[in-house]
Structure 1
Amino acid sequence: MKRLFLTTISLIFFACGNNAQNKTVTKPEIANADPVEVPAENGMEKAYFASGCFWCVEAVYESVKGVEESISGYAGGHTKNPTYEQSNTGRTGHAESVEIIYDPNVVSFETLVRVYFGSQNPTQVNGQGPDRGSQYRSIIFYQNQEQKQTIEKVKAEVAKDYNKPIAAEVLPFQKFWVAEDYHQDYERNHLENPYIRSVSIPRINKFKKKFPELLKENAH
């Protein structure tokens, strides 16, 4: 019991953030806005997802073939230039998110959506694992109607495997705010961190076991 208690305390203390709040929900003007489409650059496209702590999500997507880079940041809220400390209060409306830069000739948007649902508990509301609060809520952002239809199709398929509703919001993309430098590649650079060892690595290993055909040869 003592070991279990200490482990629980450790996970809480070393979670991606400790100030989880449940007060903020997506504002109607954001949910009903027209999506912003991000133009491709040098043949590379961008996609945006929120699924709990961005340290975990960034590492998952960086292991996928066709993904050039995964960047941690904030999206889905109403505050300009949010900081980590502000977002972590749950009052900015933003969720910890990732920007995925990918080659559509290698990996499709639909596959990225399947990775999204397959690398989390899709029924957990306002969080993943020990990270709780609206800043950790699940969101898939679409940039056009074709992407929205793809998301809804995959979401409906995934829902058949669960007895609880799928928690992910489907929102029109507006803007992505890049997080502070020290958050980038956090899992790769901080393997000694108890949260990374106890939460991030088990999550990515579970994903790798589920989708071995999608992994890069050098996936960490």
Structure 2
Amino acid sequence: MSKIETATFGGGCFWCLEAVFKAIPDIMEVVSGYAGGNCPGIPTYREVCSGKTGHAEVIQVSFDTTRITYSDVLRLFMNNHNPTLDTYLKGDYGSQYRSIVLYHSKEQQEIALDVIQETAIELAKNVRTELSELSDFFKAEEYHQDYFNKNKEAAYCRGIIAPKIEKLKNNLYKT
């Protein structure tokens, strides 16, 4: 019997993470949004980009735990951004681009701690991924949803996102 679970995390621009996770067959849904902040009301992209709201650009990923585990989803996340940097990720600068895992349960928190420690050992570097409980998730404006598929010819999509998807496919589908 399938069990749907949700993971929320951010690491750089949400366009990149959204596109990468949409390319994974076992992922059911990916939504770009904002979380981890502290301003009243629903934040806008402009407000989040100002750095004043404390929010990060994040994605929420829904998946069937009988097909892929939360720890596997987190490993994919950790392998598709640089978790050793604070607020600068491949051309994106600011606290809204920080590496962050927002857990939905105590079990997710424990698994995330293990995966973060495992990643630090594999990289032999200090992993700076923030780990916090999810309080609120705000869906980003509609033009941010499925950005890569709607804008494949844009320079950012061709130069930054497409290589990440190619890297993922090469690593996942080796024969």
TM-score bucket of the superposed structures, by smaller chain: over 0.9
Task: Tell me whether 1:162 sits opposite 2:123 in the alignment.
Answer: yes
- Name whichever structure is richer in strand by fraction: 2
Name the aligned partner's letter for residue 209 of structure 1.
Answer: N
Which AA in structure 1 matches 2:23?
Answer: S
| Equivalent residues in 2 for 1:31-50, closer than 5 Å | 43-50=3-10
Q: For structure 1, which segment, 69-78 or 153-162, has the greater mean C-alpha deviation from structure 2 after superposition?
A: 153-162
Contact 1:66 1:104 in 2 (8 A): no
Q: Deviations over 1:170-204 (max 9, x none)?
A: 11111110000000000011011101111111122
Question: Of residues 15, 33, 43 in structure 2, which corresponds to 1:82?
Answer: 43
Structure 2 partner of 1:73: 33
Shift of 1:162: 2.4
Paired residue secondary structure (2:125): coil
Supply the distance in 2 between the matched residues of 1:204 and 1:90 (Cα, whole angstroms): 28
Does the residue aligned with 1:74 lie in a helix, a strand or coil? strand
Mapped partners of 2:80, 2:168: distance in 1: 5
**How far does residue 43 in structure 1 lie from its aligned partner after superposition?**
4.1
- 2:139 is aligned to 178
From 15, 22, 38, the equivalent of 1:55 is 15
RMSD: 1.4
Query: Considering only CA atoms, is the larger Rg found in Structure 1 or Structure 2?
Result: 1
Taking the aligned partners of 2:82 and 2:3, their CA distance within structure 1 comes to 32
Deviation per residue, 1:93-126 (Å, 9 max, x gap): 0000001111111111111111111111121221
Distance 1:85 1:109, change over 3 A: same
| Separation of aligned partners in 2, 1:89 and 1:121 | 22
Say which SS state the counterpart of residue 85 (structure 1) adopts. helix
Report Cα offsets for 1:22-69 as digits up to 9, x if no partner: xxxxxxxxxxxxxxxxxxxx8422110111100000011111232111
SS in 1 for 2:123: coil
For structure 1, the residue ranges without an aligned partner over 5 or more in a row are: 1-41, 214-220
Aligned counterparts of 1:43 and 1:163: Cα–Cα separation in 2: 34
Asked if the contact 2:34/2:56 (under 8 Å) is kept, the reply is: yes
* Aligned-partner Cα distance in 1 for 2:70–2:25: 12
Name stretches of at least 5 consecutive residues in structure 2 with no aligned partner.
none
Percent sequence identity is 37
Q: TM-score normalized by structure 2?
A: 0.93
Count of aligned residue pairs for this structure pair:
172
SS in 1 for 2:109: helix
**1:107 maps to which of 61, 65, 68:** 68
Residue of structure 1 equivalent to 2:158? 197
* 1:121–1:128 contact (8 Å) kept in structure 2: yes
Moved more, 122-131 or 189-198: 122-131
Q: Counterpart amino acid of 1:77?
A: G
Amino acid at match of 1:99: Q
Distance 1:174 1:207 in 2: 30
8 Å CA contact 2:11, 2:82 repeated in 1:
no
